[in-house]
Chain A
Amino acid sequence: MTTLTRDAAPSSAPAKRARRWKPSEVRAGYAFLTPWLLGFFLLTAGPMIASLYLAFTDYNLFTDPQWVGFDNFTQLFQDPRFLQSAKVTAIYVLVGTPVKLVAALAVAMLLNMKHRGQGAYRSIFYAPSLIGASVSIAIVWKAMFIDDGIVDTVGQFFGMQAGGWVGNPDMTMPMMILLAVWQFGAPMVIFLAGLKQVPAELYEAASVDGAGPVRKFLRITLPMLSPVIFFNLLLETIAAFQVFSSAFIISGGSGGPAGSTLFYTLYLYIRGFNDFRMGYASAMAWVLVIVVGVITAIFFKTSKSWVHYSGDAR
């Protein structure tokens, strides 16, 4: 009991020990890693390197790529639509991701309480994530946000005069963010699975010690959940940077109205597959890799101070 509580509380990372690798461990490690290594070298690495190469070429899909050096990259930063797509995506990441994660965690905690009907609620709250990937979502979601649709009606009740959000370039971003938040099912389920990993004894012991719900949340739930929080935070951030399907479906692939839903990867797709400029698209992709890579690295660096693994700290 005591050891676990200590693990759950913030502790410094284990000191790096200079060590010799045990041959049996090395063998086992690579044996267990074989499927991933095969997949990486057979399916993933080649196409990734190819796309990096293509970023320095003029490639129209139909004829051989021509080396152009850094041309694509210099063009990128003079392209107003590229800058627009970067701006749109940044707003989406900064606003949408935190809201979605907080909603997912809050609902997961609600659904983790001991009440009747939780199974039904879990299924209901996950339903949007099922529908969200359907092609029909464009029609459904727009119907919510057109003139006199449910959102407009509720908005008018509160004195909002935005009209239908779909056709209003100022309101499509909130609409897209709401669509993302509405689909909080995936991080919610992961949070739920994480909450189940928290040993109930910890809470019982804390109750004995007279801890209230807030203290339990801060002292037990958050630290024990930190690997899962880290996972959701990182993956949702990356996913938000790469958001494509919903914008593609809702805007019919155009990023409209007036460029207000021109997300980064949507513009990348338009460049690559509609304008046949796959070199340019690849350059865009690698700029994104660098940006998200830096952010990911920062996440991992800072995670050492707030993410605690019960299996690591010894």
Chain B
Amino acid sequence: MTENTIAVEHVGAQHLITEPPVRDTGAAATLRRSARRRKGLKGLGFHAFVLALTVVILYPAVWMFLSAFKPSSDIIGEVNPIPTDWTLDNFTKALSGIGGVSFWTFFGNSLILAVLSVIGIVLSATVSAYAFSRIEFPGRNIWFGLMIGTLLLPFHVVIIPQYIIFNNLGMVNTFWPLLLGKFLASEAFFVFLMVQFMRNLPRELDEAARIDGAGHVRIFRSIMLPLMRPPIITASIFAFIWSWNDFLGPLLYLKKPDLYSLPIALRLYVDQTSVSDYGAQMAMAVLALVPVLLFFIVFQRYIVDGVATQGLKG
């Protein structure tokens, strides 16, 4: 409880929350190093196991990556992941664009949509989750139940009514239909995710801040948001990737090729009614993976690194 009290005293100055964890002293580090040596064997076992798992898990990904270097007619039905004829033609073709629209236009559209989705979802989901998890008001449970209820309906049957709404609002051929819902917390998955994490933060935090005279806006901004970093990063990663890969929304709402996102373009290489270029599709799929992979690699460490919750709790 003592540390907690300290934390609360610091809330006004907003210090402790962002303060880095206490550094190891030299002596402690030495101790840890020898402990690590003792754990060496255990570490070896860990790496052997995880590496084996990696091979199994990555095999399909490697197959996919290498297929992008195969001629189109060597891809389907081919067991061997290693190309017999290496070629870069697929990438040249994928990068050359479609119908006068450059690859980078598709790429840029996907990027804009993904980034705005992340912003929208993080803002709206955390705010809504705060209401659901930290404020007591009449109707809360009913709204919460309804929110969970929106998860249950398969989305295919709301495609048409939703299209009619956006069409009548004149929003077809804009990014609005794809983004509005994100800024209005329509994706219950994210709200619920935030609720689960927020409810698990100790109540002492806000109660003490209240005594300090902080209102909900300040508690939300200064206590909740910093402590919610792992779920926020998690949600950002999902929001980015799901938007990046979303296909049906762009298909229905983006009619101008200049507005197309990558998944629409990707599918154009395979046409059952004429000639298909599986190689170019594979190459574009590989290229499309690069940003999401980078996004994940950059942000995954924030899920697990440097959150000061430990300092605040206990």
Contacts and interface: CB of A to CB of B under 8 A. Distances in A.
A314 B158 contact: no
Interface stretch (A92-100, A169-177, A186-194): A186-194
Given A21-B138, A48-B158, A193-B234, A123 B297 contact: yes
Contacts of A163: none
B54 A126 contact: no
A218 interface: no
Contacts of A190: 193, 231, 234
A208 interface: no
B128 interface: yes
A29 interface: yes
B162 A43 contact: yes
Interface string B189-200: 101110011111
Contacts of A149: 79
A288 interface: yes
A118 B257 CA distance: 41
A128 to B, nearest CB: 6
B107 interface: no
A131 B183 CA distance: 26
B165 A121 contact: no
**Dominant secondary structure of chain A at its interface with chain B:** helix
Contacts of B296: 123, 126, 130
A83 interface: no
Interface string A139-150: 111111010111
Contacts of B199: 227, 309-312
A268 to B, nearest CB: 6
A143 B79 contact: yes
B78 interface: yes
B97 interface: no
A182 B57 contact: yes
Interface residues of B, number: 108
A18 interface: no
Given A43-B162, A141-B60, A311-B133, A3 B192 contact: no
**Dominant secondary structure of chain B at its interface with chain A:** helix
A149 B183 CA distance: 45
A42 interface: yes
A1 B157 contact: no
Contacts of A116: 43
B11 interface: no
A130 B64 CA distance: 12
A246 interface: no
A133 interface: yes
B180 A139 contact: no
Given A143-B63, A227-B196, A285-B156, A135 B267 contact: yes
Nearest to B192: A231
A134 B288 contact: yes
A35 B138 contact: no
Nearest to B241: A130
A292 interface: yes
Residue among A115, A124, A128, A193 with max Cβ neighbours from chain B (10 Å): A193
Contacts of B203: 310-312, 314
B149 interface: yes
13 contacts: A3-B1, A25-B137, A32-B131, A32-B220, A35-B123, A37-B143, A128-B57, A128-B60, A139-B76, A231-B192, A296-B151, A311-B133, A311-B198
Given A26-B138, A28-B216, A192-B230, 6 more contacts: A33-B132, A35-B128, A47-B162, A134-B245, A143-B60, A146-B77
Interface of B: 1, 43, 46-47, 49-50, 53-54, 57-61, 63-64, 67, 75-79, 123-124, 127-128, 130-138, 140, 143, 146-158, 160-162, 165, 180-181, 183-186, 189, 191-193, 196-204, 215-216, 220, 230-231, 233-234, 237-238, 241-242, 245, 247, 263, 266-267, 270, 278, 281-282, 285, 288-289, 292-293, 296-297, 300-301, 303-304, 307, 309-310, 313-314
